[in-house]
Structure 1
Amino acid sequence: MAEKCEEVESREWYLASYAPEGVPTSDNLKLRTVRLSLASDSIPDGHLAVELLYVSVDPYLRSRMSGRLDGLDSDQYPLNQVITAFGIGKVIRSKDSEFEEGDVVLHPYFPVAEYCVMTSHMLKKIDPKAGISLPDFLSCLGVPGFAAWVGIEVLGDPKPGSNVFISAASGGVGMFAGQLAKLRGCRVIGSTGSDDKVKLMKDEFGYDDGFNYHKETDYDAALSRYFPNGIDLYLDNVGGKMLEAVLNHVNKYARIPLCGMVSQYNKVWTEREGVRNLLNMVGKEVRMEGFMLLSHLHRFGEFAAAMGGYMKQGKVKSKNKINLGIESFLESLASVFSSSNHGKLVIQVKPYV
C-alpha cells in the first residue's frame, strides 16, 4: 500500500499537443508513469503527499486544451505537464500541521494522476462520514452543483410561477439547476439528448416536462408548444441553435445566464453557430450574462451549506456515472460530448479504504 512505501509509480495524464478542433485524442492527451518519492524528507514543509480517489470530468476541461485564447480558452494547460481537475484525495504523508494522514481532501486543481505531492494551499478537508457520498462532493457540492446554484439562485433569481427552461437538463449542471428552480416554485422544462434522459429528468429530478432535441427538428416550434406563455429564465448549457430559438420566446425582463456552450467547444470561432435574433433582447429588455465560477468563489460557503442541507433532507438528488481507473480519463472526456452519459461523470482513481 502507498501508506507504507517510500516511493510509488504514479500514472498521470499530460497534454502532448493542443487540440484546436474536435474532441482531444491520444495524439493530444497521453498517459505516462512517473516515480514519486513519498519519503518524509523529500516532501517540502507545507506540502502533502496525496493518493487520488476521485477526479471530476467536466466539459470546461476541454476548453483548456485548445491552444486558443478566445471564449473559455484563455487559461490553457501548459504542454508536456500533467493536467489538473477538481478532485478528491486521501492524505498519505503530511508536512503541514493542519492536515493528518488519512484526511480526505478536496481541491479544484488536483493533477489527473494516481499520486501527487502538492502544497496545502486551497485544500479543503471533507468528512466522508457526513452522510454525503464522496462522488457527490464532485457533483452536487462540486463544479456542476455550484454552477447550477450560481445560474439559478444568483443570476436567474426566478420568482415562484416563473417559466424556466434548461438545456442539457439531465447532465451534471442541468440535473441540479432543474431541482433548484423547482424548489423556487417554478414550472421547469428541459431539453436533453435521448428519450431515456427525458424520463430521467422527469422521474428523478422533478422536471415538469421536457423533450429530446434529437427528435425535435424545429426548436422554435418545440418551444412554442412547451412555453405558450413565454420563457422567464433560460439557463444555457449548449448555445448555438437552441439559444437562438429561445430568444424568440423570451418574456419581458427574461434572464439568460450563460453557463456553457457545449455544442460550440470543439469548433474554432469561425465555425461556431451565430445567433441572428439578438434584437429580441432589446425590446424585451432581456439580461443575458455569462459567468465563471472563479468570480463567485466568495459565495461557495453559502452554496455548500444550502446544497448540503438539500441533499441531507432529500430535496435534491444526484446521479453519478462512475468510470474506474485513471486510464479511463481520455475516453471519459470524449463521452462528455457524445450525450452518452446520464448525470455527472466521475472517475474513481483509487477506492477509498
Structure 2
Amino acid sequence: MADAVEVSNKQIILKNYVTGFPKESDLEVKITTTRLKVPEATQNAILVKNLYLSCDPYMRNRMSNHQGSYVESFTPGSPITGYGVSKVIDSTHPDFKNDDLVWGFTGWEEYSLIKATQSLFKIQHKEVPLSYYTGILGMAGMTAYVGFYEICSPKKGETVFISAASGAVGQLVGQFAKLLGCYVVGSAGTKEKVDLLKNKFGFDEAFNYKEEEDLNAALKRYFPDGIDIYFENVGGKMLEAVLLNMRIHGRIAVCGMISQYNLEKQEGVQNMFSLISKRIRMQGFLVGDHYHLYPKFLEMILPHIKEGKVNYVEDIAQGLESAPAALIGLFSGRNVGKQLVVVAHE
C-alpha cells in the first residue's frame, strides 16, 4: 500500500543535557526512517507530517536535567519536542482523520507518531496563514490572552509595561492593551525592535533596555505616575526596577524569566517588600491550565486579525536543518517577532 511506504525522517536530536548557555552544537540533525502508517494494534494514535515548528523560550529548561520542573526534560539521543502545525497522514483516533490539520505537541522531525492527543487541536479556521497556529493562534496567543485578561484583569486607561515586548507573546499583549484603551510601553534589545513596537504594534512608547544605565530611572521617565500592570517575560534586574515603580494594587503576570534560563544559579530579586507596601498581586501561570478557554480566545482574536486590528510579525527559518540555529538564537535575542521553522508545505 502506498500509505505504508517507508520514507526517510530527518530529526533534531539533543546530544546531552546542557549547562550554561546552549550552543547549536548541542543539537544535531539525524536521518532515520519511518513508515507512513500507524503501527497495527496502536489505538488512539495519529501519524503526522510536520509543517511548522515553534521555537519557544521555555524549551531551554527542557534541555537541562531539571528535577521537579513543570515540564519534563528532553531525552538525550531522541528527537526534541514542542509545539507545531501538522497534517494527519494516518489515524487510529476517532477524533482525527487523514488530511486533518492540527496544532499542538509534536516531534522536531519530518514525521511524528503521536499517541497522546489531548494536547492537539484540530484547525478549523484555514482562512488565515497556517503558520499563525505556531504563534498568534496557538500557544503564544493563548499565553498573551490568559496572562493579560485572566491574570491581570485590565481596565481602560491603566498603564501597562511589557518586557521582551517584541517577542511572540509580548507583541500581542501590547496590542490587546491598546485595544482596551491602555497606555502601553515595551522594552526590547535593539533599535529595530523598539521601532517595531512603536510603528507596527502601536505601543505608546518603547525603549532599548541595553541603552539604559538605570532601569529604575527609565521606568520613572515613561511611567511618572507608576505602572498598573506588568507583563513579566524577563526577571532579574528588570523585575527589581519594576517593583519600585508599581502602583498600589498593581498586578504582575509572570509569564517567563528569560534572563535566568541560562544561569546555573538563578539570581535573587530585591525590592520584594513592594509587594506588601503597594498591595501588588504577582501571579505566575502556565497556559496549559487554561486551554479550555481556547474557543473563547478564537472568538475574540479572529475578527481582530481579519480586520487588521492586530498585527503579527514572524521570523521564519526555512528547513528542518535550520532549526538548531533558530532555537538557540532565541536566547541571544536574534529573532525579530515569532520564531518558527518551516519543515514542509501542505
TM-score scaled by structure 1? 0.92
1:334 to 321, 328, 336: 328
After superposition, the CA RMSD in angstroms is 2.0
2:179 to 179, 183, 196: 183
Aligned ranges 1:152-301 → 2 under 5 Å: 152-269=148-265, 272-301=266-295
41-50 or 4-13, which deviates more? 41-50
Mapped to 2, the partners of 1:24 and 1:300 lie a distance apart of 35
1:82: which partner in 2? 79
* Per-residue CA distance 1:188-244 (angstroms, 9 max, x = gap): 000001111111111111100110111111111111110001000000100010110
47-56 or 234-243, which deviates more? 47-56
| SS of residue in 2 equivalent to 1:263 | helix
- The verdict on how the C-alpha distance between 1:351 and 1:250 changes in structure 2, with shifts beyond 3 A counting, is same
2:56: which partner in 1? 58
* Per-residue CA distance 1:58-114 (angstroms, 9 max, x = gap): 0001111111236x565212232221111111122233454333221112x201100
Mapped to 2, the partners of 1:69 and 1:308 lie a distance apart of 39
- The verdict on how the C-alpha distance between 1:126 and 1:73 changes in structure 2, with shifts beyond 3 A counting, is closer
Deviation of 1:286 after TM superposition, in Å, equals 0.5
User: Structure 2: where are the runs of 5+ without partners?
Assistant: none
Q: Could you tell me which amino acid in structure 2 is paired with residue 15 of structure 1?
A: L
Aligned ranges 1:42-53 → 2 under 5 Å: 42=40, 44-53=42-51
Q: Percent identity?
A: 39
2:132: which partner in 1? 136
* Contact 1:236–1:258 (CA under 8 A) maintained in structure 2: yes
Mapped to 1, the partners of 2:39 and 2:19 lie a distance apart of 42
2:101: which partner in 1? 104
- The verdict on how the C-alpha distance between 1:39 and 1:177 changes in structure 2, with shifts beyond 3 A counting, is closer
User: Structure 1: where are the runs of 5+ without partners?
Assistant: none
Mapped to 1, the partners of 2:96 and 2:278 lie a distance apart of 53
Deviation of 1:41 after TM superposition, in Å, equals 6.2
Q: Could you tell me which amino acid in structure 2 is paired with residue 299 of structure 1?
A: L
Mapped to 2, the partners of 1:266 and 1:73 lie a distance apart of 17
- The verdict on how the C-alpha distance between 1:250 and 1:40 changes in structure 2, with shifts beyond 3 A counting, is closer
330-339 or 297-306, which deviates more? 297-306
2:345: which partner in 1? 351
1:10: which partner in 2? 9
